[in-house]
């Protein structure tokens, strides 16, 4: 299945089971939300998961684009993305966790053709506040799927306060050959679909309060699902992102070094930047704009390591337009290209100025924490840029 067929299969499966389609929103969270970007498919539905009635009813499904900065250090591997899409299904006080798990396995096996022998589940093992998720364990055993108990990673929340609960995760074995070990013992098991039973609300004082109406929230990364169903080695080789991989490798072949990690970083960060700009964000020194600025600067650092003459002006407009169209964004590729070019120019000037300052003050590249503070407060050089420039000076 290609991307469109995969999304349609997901939506039709839940529509046949009484779920109404919710319209995905932009990367910008609802007004009043304190987070910079929508980071989970359930985020726009938080108040409904806490008990407010939804106008479409108690069974929902949809696709939501998300951005996570918590995974930035993992970008460049085969499964993580900064901007990604989450396939979600929700039961707002309707059916419970066991039914969600049964449908989840049915869709994985019958809908997407993933052999049950390649699947493994985890369930919350309990802590000093809440006991183990015995319902999930019993359901998986009934369905014949291996399951093991996990710790904090099987407790889900979208922040320090708000709705939360035990999380049962479905993993898939990615390599060829028979599976080995379990998700907790072998990293070749890839997390695919989370099913959270929202039973509690975390209060400001840290206590848990039982929700009057427990709900179910599931989330599955579209790009990871495509990686599995299309049987490719990474999310970057799926039909959704492969055009970026191919185009950037053709433009800047030097990115292929180090196992292709620099190429994957640049693909992710530039594609994510296009999506962020398409949702109306511009580079800035703080807030949402600084997240965008960091993505572009990191992409440029990797790019200029591989090819000092490279420029974002070479980015094909058709590639940018494809991403904007996929996310249903109104910005044109010319506007996005102008933003990228302007930010590249600002960053190039910053690097030139920063190199001169460091060569004059710290010619051996040795700096203390106090030096970092001084360079940031006096010369406006961010810490990550200072680290990069200092490395150039060390013998």
pLDDT digits (tens, 9 = 90+) for 208-223: 999 999 999 999 999 9
Average pLDDT over residues 178-188: 94
Q: Which homologous superfamily is 3-229 in? A: Bira Bifunctional Protein; Domain 2 (3.30.930.10)
Tell me the pLDDT band of 274, cut-offs 50, 70 and 90. very high
Pairwise CA distance, residues 235 & 255, whole Å: 17
> Whole-model pTM?
0.92
395 has pLDDT over 90: no
Return the residue matching tokens 């009635």.
53
How long, in residues, is the chain?
395
202 has pLDDT over 90: yes
More confident residue, 71 or 185: 185
Average pLDDT over residues 98-115: 97
What is the percent of the chain with per-residue pLDDT over 90, rounded to a whole number?
A: 87
Tell me the pLDDT band of 58, cut-offs 50, 70 and 90. very high
User: For all residues of the chain together, what is the average pLDDT?
Assistant: 94
Strand stretches in the chain, DSSP E: 20-22, 59-67, 83-91, 119-124, 147-150, 155-157, 162-173, 189-202, 208-221
**pLDDT of res. 173:** 96
The single-letter DSSP state of residue 382 is -
Domain limits of the chain?
3-229, 241-393
Pairwise CA distance, residues 192 & 168, whole Å: 11
Query: Encoding tokens for residue 299?
Result: 């992409």
Smallest Cα–Cα separation from 339: which of 394, 248, 278?
Answer: 278
388 has pLDDT over 90: no
Cβ-proximal residues to 293 (8 Å cutoff; 6+ apart), any chain: 283, 284, 285, 343
**pLDDT of res. 330:** 93
Average pLDDT over residues 350-370: 92
180 has pLDDT over 80: yes
The answer to whether the CB of 169 falls within 8 A of the CB of 122 is yes
φ, ψ of residue 122 to 5 degrees: the values are -125, 155
Tell me the pLDDT band of 393, cut-offs 50, 70 and 90. confident
140 has pLDDT over 90: yes
Environment class of 73 (CB within 10 Å of its CB; exposed 0-12, middle 13-18, buried 19+): exposed
φ, ψ of residue 89 to 5 degrees: the values are -135, 145
Average pLDDT over residues 339-360: 94
The answer to whether the CB of 248 falls within 8 A of the CB of 110 is no
Burial 293-324 (b: 16+ CB within 10 A, else e): bbbbbbbbbbbbebeeebbbeebbeebbbbbb
Pairwise CA distance, residues 258 & 249, whole Å: 14
Pairwise CA distance, residues 273 & 265, whole Å: 12
If DSSP codes are grouped into helix, strand and coil, which group holds residue 7?
helix
């Amino acid at each position: 299945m290609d991307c469109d067929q995969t999304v349609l299969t997901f939506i039709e499966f839940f529509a046949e089971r009484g779920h109404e389609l919710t319209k995905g929103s932009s990367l910008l969270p609802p007004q009043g939300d304190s987070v910079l970007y929508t980071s989970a498919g359930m985020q726009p539905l938080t108040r409904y998961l806490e008990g407010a009635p939804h106008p479409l009813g108690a069974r929902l499904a949809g696709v939501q684009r998300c951005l996570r900065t918590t995974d930035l250090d993992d970008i460049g591997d085969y499964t993580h993305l900064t901007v990604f899409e989450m396939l979600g299904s929700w039961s707002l006080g309707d059916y419970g966790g066991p039914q969600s798990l049964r449908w989840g396995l049915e869709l994985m096996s019958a809908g997407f053709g993933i052999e049950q022998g390649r699947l493994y589940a985890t369930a919350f093992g309990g802590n000093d506040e809440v006991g183990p998720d015995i319902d999930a364990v019993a359901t998986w055993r009934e369905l014949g799927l291996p399951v093991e108990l996990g710790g904090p990673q099987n407790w889900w929340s979208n922040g320090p306060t708000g709705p939360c609960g035990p999380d049962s995760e479905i993993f898939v074995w990615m390599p060829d050959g028979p599976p080995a070990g379990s998700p907790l013992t072998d990293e070749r098991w890839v997390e695919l679909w989370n099913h959270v039973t929202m039973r509690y609300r975390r209060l400001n004082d840290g206590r848990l309060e039982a929700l009057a109406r427990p709900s179910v929230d599931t989330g599955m990364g579209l790009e990871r699902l495509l990686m599995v169903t299309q049987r490719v080695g990474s999310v970057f080789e799926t039909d959704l992102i492969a055009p970026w991989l191919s185009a950037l490798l053709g433009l800047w072949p030097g990115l292929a070094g180090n196992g292709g990690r620099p190429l994957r970083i640049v693909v992710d960060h530039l594609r994510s930047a296009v999506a962020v700009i398409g949702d109306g964000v511009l580079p800035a020194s703080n807030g949402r704009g600084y997240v965008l600025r960091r993505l572009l600067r990191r992409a440029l650092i990797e790019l200029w390591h591989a090819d000092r003459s490279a420029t974002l002006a070479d980015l094909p407009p058709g590639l940018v337009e494809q991403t904007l169209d996929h996310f249903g964004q109104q910005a044109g590729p010319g506007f996005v290209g102008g933003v990228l070019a302007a930010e590249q120019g600002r960053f190039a000037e910053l690097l030139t100025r920063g190199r001169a300052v460091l060569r004059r003050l710290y010619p051996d590249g040795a700096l203390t924490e106090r030096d970092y503070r001084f360079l940031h407060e006096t010369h406006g050089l961010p810490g990550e840029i200072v680290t990069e420039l200092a490395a150039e000076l060390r013998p």
